[in-house]
Structure 1
Amino acid sequence: MRRLGAGFRPGAVMLALGLLLVGLPAACFLTSYGCGEEEDRLAEALAGEAVLDSVPEGADREDRYRECDDDDRFVVVGTRYRHGDSADGVLRHYEAAASAAGWRPRAAKGGNTVPGCFTKPVGGTTAYLTVEGPDDGRLHVEIIADRAGSPWC
């Protein structure tokens, strides 16, 4: 005579193992994926940097933006301008504005610096200020950072 429930145990064990091996990683992914409070605090710190409000002569602000990449959790805060001046004039403006706000030119190999790239500790990590353009009459000034300390620009 066969005992009632004897076939139930292996099935229950397989179900429990399946939930453990598939369910636990899925739950972990769903609860830790994407930008959260930590990235929001970093974005607030970056957005408060005065250099983003420094407008070169002859520039008209188009927009200000704040983004976070859900995959890599890096934060970007920036401003776009319409500008018709030369790149040299814009770079000189931001070199002075960045220096006054405590930003330093990013060092490159051989003791040189990376043009249009500055670094500064912000919100407990290293932030990178980049100045791009003006290309086609557009100028981008943005700050990017993440908690992993990734090098940018």
Structure 2
Amino acid sequence: MEIRPWGYRLAAVVAVSGLLVVGLPVLYFLTTYGCGEDEDRLAGVMAGAAVLDTAPEGADAKDRYQGCDDDDRFVVVGTQYRYGGSAENALAHYGRAAGADGWRPMTTGKGETVSGCFTKSMGGTTAYLGIEGPDGGLLHVEITADRAGSQWC
């Protein structure tokens, strides 16, 4: 059986098309998916926030953490405390500490303040400081940011 020259051309076109259809998405995924140096730099800036190193009276540091979500590439840095005090005392403490560190209270479109949420420019994007708890004796102080301009409170 003899293969005609157009048969080779057709086979080459099919092979190249297959590589493009399968190869380009795979290449894109391998080169752009997940957290990278930009997110590491942002996490480093966020981890240096003074507000993460302050705690209300009676709070004991339990855990300091930082991470990045590979899918959405948002960065999170926080501290978790054992705390038996009230949420009101924690919010009052962090309202003062956040203000001293340059954070502004988050406001709604109607100008109302969002409780336990503050914003600040960090690493070329807007970061969000959230205070949660104490729930079950745990108080969470967390900064979240991404390059997509998402709102986190």
Output the TM-score relative to the length of structure 2.
0.96
Unaligned runs of 5+ in 2: none
* Residue number in structure 1 paired with 2:39: 39
- Which string of whole-angstrom CA distances, capped at 9 and with x for unpartnered residues, describes residues 82-118 of structure 1? 0000000000000000000000000113211000000
Please name the residue that 1:8 is paired with: 8
Q: Can you give the 5+ residue segments of structure 1 that lack an aligned partner in the other structure?
A: none
Structure 1 pair 12–90 and aligned structure 2 pair: CA distance change class (3 A): same
Q: Which residue of 2 aligns with 1:138?
A: 138
SS of structure 2 residue aligned to 1:73: coil
Partner SS state of residue 147, structure 1? coil
1:56-106 CA-partner distances (Å, limit 9, x unpaired): 110011110001000000000000000000000000000000000000000
- Identical residues among aligned pairs (%): 65
Q: Classify the secondary structure of the residue corresponding to 2:110.
A: helix
Q: What letter matches 1:49 in structure 2?
A: A
The whole-number CA distance in structure 2 between the counterparts of 1:58 and 1:2 is 87
RMSD: 1.3
User: What is the count of residue pairs matched by the alignment?
Assistant: 153
Instruction: Read off the aligned partner of 2:101 and give its amino acid letter.
Output: A
Structural mapping, 1:100-115, within 5 Å:
100-115=100-115
Q: Where does structure 1 differ by over 6 angstroms across 4 or more consecutive aligned residues?
A: none
Distance 1:65 1:38 in 2: 18
